[in-house]
Amino acid sequence: MNQTEFILKAEDCVQAMRQLDDESIDLVVTSPPYNLGIKYRDYNDSRTSDEYLSWCKEWAKEVKRVLKMDGSFFLNLGSCPSNPLIPHELVVEMKKRLFVLQNTFHWIKSISVQTKGGETISAGHFKPLRSKRFVTDCHEYVFHLSKTGHTQLDRLAVGVPYSDKSNIARWSHTKGRDLRCRGNNWFIPYKTIVSRSKERPHPATFPTELAVFCIKIHGCRPDLVMMDPFLGIGHSALAARQCGIAKFIGFDIDNEYVEVARKALVKGSTEPTADLLESMPRFRKASKVKQQSLFP
């Protein structure tokens, strides 16, 4: 597997993307702030709807400019009872002048299913919602946007076996393989943690595996250039390394989050954790040369 080149910068993403060449990015996987009042360190997540949508169009224009004609833009968005329409409002704005909505995936964090024997099985994790009006939200959206709507995907890269094996011979398109398209429901639970503040030092993250799914279904090639304009603590960067793509570019306005991402990559972590923050001064001193070589 190729060694991925990483360029991680603590910089406003709009200004940072303006330094990139037109059509230089194959794949964008990101999750911007949702405007739900989340307490970030260096960002106001409580804007008016008009202000938020205007800001999103500003950074989305830069995403479109740098994205290749056959590129994919995977946009993860969630909502809450106080602002249930924000994912839809934002994707409608994206669709008006910038992108084509090619696919809509549902990131399922928790689910309960009933077996054929009548047993109910629950899997995954969710944040309980105490309300007499609203139910607990167990999913988020991942909108797959492209410039033309004709970007080809590797649908079987995240495929699953047939539950009814007779379908393998029944359908000619299987070509004898026990593998079918997973569809647009992706059950990807968070890893179990004891303390969010100690083990997930960011108020809004997606699992590394979610970004891996996006990379694979776009078509994982060793020459891919991937970008995340809202890097956070680096789950998308870890996914890029796991998939062995050529180059990853990430931006975040918060310098400490970028440092966590850098250290997670050097450490070989699969998920960045808060313990990486504790030795930051010692880390800078001990591995200054290594950081400079890995992260220009």
286 pLDDT tier (thresholds 50, 70, 90): very low
For 1, the token pair is 């597997």
Q: What is the pLDDT of residue 81?
A: 79
pLDDT at 247: 97
Q: Is 158 helix (H, G, I), strand (E, B) or coil?
A: helix
Domain 5-294, CATH number (from 3.40.50.360, 3.40.50.150, 3.50.50.60, 3.40.140.10): 3.40.50.150
Beta strand segments in 78-205, E: 100-108, 110-114, 120-124, 139-146, 185-187
Centre a 10 Å sphere on the Cβ of residue 153 and count the other Cβ atoms it contains.
Answer: 17
**Rounded CA separation 150/29 (Å):** 18
User: Which positions ≥6 away from 19 have C-beta within 8 Å?
Assistant: none
- What phi-psi label fits residue 25: left (phi over 0), alpha (psi between -120 and 50 degrees) or beta? beta
Q: How far apart are CA 215 and CA 210, in angstroms?
A: 9
Domain boundaries, the chain: 5-294
In this prediction, residue 243 carries a pLDDT of: 96
228: enclosing H helix or E strand = strand 225-228
Q: Which tops the pLDDT comparison, 121 or 201?
A: 121
CB 47, CB 55: distance < 8 Å: yes
Q: Classify each residue of 116-139 as buried b or exposed e, where b means 16 or more C-beta atoms within 10 Å of its C-beta.
A: eeeeeeeeeeeeeeeeeeeeebbb
| pLDDT computed for residue 265 by the predictor | 93
Q: Which of 217-231, 249-263, 276-290 has the lowest mean pLDDT?
A: 276-290
Q: Can you read off the two tokens belonging to residue 150? A: 């004709």
Tokens of 116: 């054929």
SS3 218: helix
Q: Is the pLDDT of residue 43 over 70?
A: no
- Identify the pLDDT of residue 29: 98
pTM of the model: 0.86
Which residues are CB-neighbours of 286 under 8 A, at least 6 positions away?
none
Tokens at 31, concatenated = 């999750």
What is the structure's pLDDT at 1?
A: 61
Q: Tokens in use for 139?
A: 């999913």
